[in-house]
Structure 1
Amino acid sequence: MNERAIPILPCKYVDDVVPFYEALGFTVTFRQTRPNPYVCFNRGGIDLHFFGLEAFEPENSLGTAIVLVEDTGVLYQEFAAGLRAAFGKLPLAGIPRITKPRRKQGTTAGFTVVDPGGNWLRISALGETEDDGSASHGAGRLDRVLMNAARQGDAHGDEVRAISVIEAGLLRHGDATDAEKLPLLVYLAELHHRSGNPELAGSALDTVAALILNPAEREASAEELATAAELRGAL
């Protein structure tokens, strides 16, 4: 049995979503302006359809699609490269935006894309199920804080709650090493940036810059440090 389901998502204007999805590597397979604006995209095994509605406001969108892929890390890198090439930088705040892949407490690993229509594409690994808590078993103390914060900030879109979780975790574990604190501080900067607080985001990045890391720790944290540099450029 060969069955498929294709989500039809809203947007204010079709012209808003076309360049964004083309930057993600999607191809327009059908497009019409009458009798109603409509566009279809395909990328490998992913099909997405959109209808335009001028009265629609992306900030109020409840549109969501779960996208299951073999390797979320590879897809993130491809999406990120396309967005940088098309727009000069990653959209990390507002609408549209993309989040970094993170393990989230109680949910599957992956990342989120919020498109110009305000629709959430929740990218998860094919075959993974909802985490029953085993992902946090054996994880470091600040790793668990980060997963909890990512559940609030990335899965639920509650940046205020995520910031609170991180700040409480850093205060509770003040004896943590600089290398342990780094991922939380970078995520804290990202959350402040998303929340429209560039001063607080910059302060978190200043703290990141002041961390003392040995060469091995710096190499292991290269991705986090690259994210911090990208955030600095976005402020």
Structure 2
Amino acid sequence: MANEVTIPLLPCASINEVAEFYVMLGFTITHRQHRPTPYLSVRREEIQLHFFGIRGFDPSTSYSSCLVQVEDTRELFDAFADGMRAVYGKVLSSGIPRMTRPRRDGFLLVDPGGNWIRVVPAVQEPEPVRNGLARALHSAVTLAGSHGAERRALRILEGALARERDASEDDLALALEFREELLERLNLHR
């Protein structure tokens, strides 16, 4: 078999709200159906996402997720960020919807349906975790991104920043950048 395609089918409370969100990000609506079941499909280049509406669905309790592999995660992040800034005046970094800043392993987009769209590089080379700060940063990113535990992530990161003496300049810069992002998400600017 060759040229197979898998397209995620994700739940949402309102296909209209999801449609507006994805159009803002540069997607095109390829299909919209209101009856008998609300259904929406969107496309941006080769990225296809489909949604179905569920009456009474609570996006904050969603476990729906998918991976989107792209050659250049930064390019896609920048395009999405431009769309958010045009509509909201800023990149939404907390709540639903939201988008995390890009890192080596990609970024996370949470749409109005509560679906977690993980944008990752098409080819991922596992990076060795070099020191305590890098391990703490990896844990903090996972806690905040996958579990929504920003306060716990901040505690872990700040503890590692206070202890670390051997971190590279790159690791220190990445940790401080993520610390600022966490402070912003938690509205704790110092």
Give the TM-score of the pair, scaled to structure 1: 0.72
For 1:110 and 1:51, locate their aligned partners in 2 and report how far apart those are by CA, in whole Å. 26
Contact conserved, 1:66 with 1:123, CA < 8 A, in 2?
yes
- Name the structure, 1 or 2, with higher relative contact order (CA <8 Å, separation 6+): 2
Assess, with a 3 A threshold, how the Cα gap between structure 1 residues 49 and 179 changes in structure 2: closer, same or farther.
closer
How far 1:97 sits from its partner (Å)? 0.2
Match of 1:125 in 2: 121
Aligned to 1:74, the other structure's residue is in SS state helix
Match of 1:136 in 2: 129
Q: Deviations over 1:117-163 (max 9, x none)?
A: 0000011111226x3xx4324xx654443233212222443323311
Query: Structure 2 regions of 5+ residues with no counterpart?
Result: none
For 1:11 and 1:113, locate their aligned partners in 2 and report how far apart those are by CA, in whole Å. 15
Instruction: Please give the residue correspondences for 1:162-201 in structure 2 after superposition, counting only pairs within 5 Å.
Output: 162-173=153-164, 181-195=172-186, 198=187, 201=188
Match of 2:47 in 1: 46
Aligned to 2:40, the other structure's residue is in SS state strand
Aligned to 2:128, the other structure's residue is in SS state helix
How far 1:83 sits from its partner (Å)? 1.3
How far 1:65 sits from its partner (Å)? 0.8
Match of 1:7 in 2: 8
Instruction: Please give the residue correspondences for 1:212-231 in structure 2 after superposition, counting only pairs within 5 Å.
Output: none
Aligned to 1:47, the other structure's residue is in SS state strand
How far 1:111 sits from its partner (Å)? 0.4
For 1:13 and 1:3, locate their aligned partners in 2 and report how far apart those are by CA, in whole Å. 29
How far 1:193 sits from its partner (Å)? 3.5
Assess, with a 3 A threshold, how the Cα gap between structure 1 residues 177 and 135 changes in structure 2: closer, same or farther.
closer
Identity of aligned residues (%): 42
Range 38-47 or range 154-163, more displaced: 154-163
How far 1:94 sits from its partner (Å)? 0.2
Aligned to 2:36, the other structure's residue is in SS state coil
Q: What residue identity is the alignment partner of 1:114?
A: V
Number of residue equivalences: 189
Q: What residue identity is the alignment partner of 1:113?
A: L
Assess, with a 3 A threshold, how the Cα gap between structure 1 residues 38 and 135 changes in structure 2: closer, same or farther.
same
Aligned to 1:202, the other structure's residue is in SS state coil
Q: What residue identity is the alignment partner of 1:127?
A: V
Pick the structure with greater CA Rg.
1
For 2:163 and 2:180, locate their aligned partners in 1 and report how far apart those are by CA, in whole Å. 19
Q: What residue identity is the alignment partner of 1:5?
A: T
Aligned to 1:39, the other structure's residue is in SS state strand
For 2:90 and 2:18, locate their aligned partners in 1 and report how far apart those are by CA, in whole Å. 17
Query: Structure 1 regions of 5+ residues with no counterpart?
Result: 104-108, 204-235
Match of 2:143 in 1: 152
Query: Superposition RMSD on alpha carbons, in Å?
Result: 2.4
Give the TM-score of the pair, scaled to structure 2: 0.88
For 1:92 and 1:154, locate their aligned partners in 2 and report how far apart those are by CA, in whole Å. 11
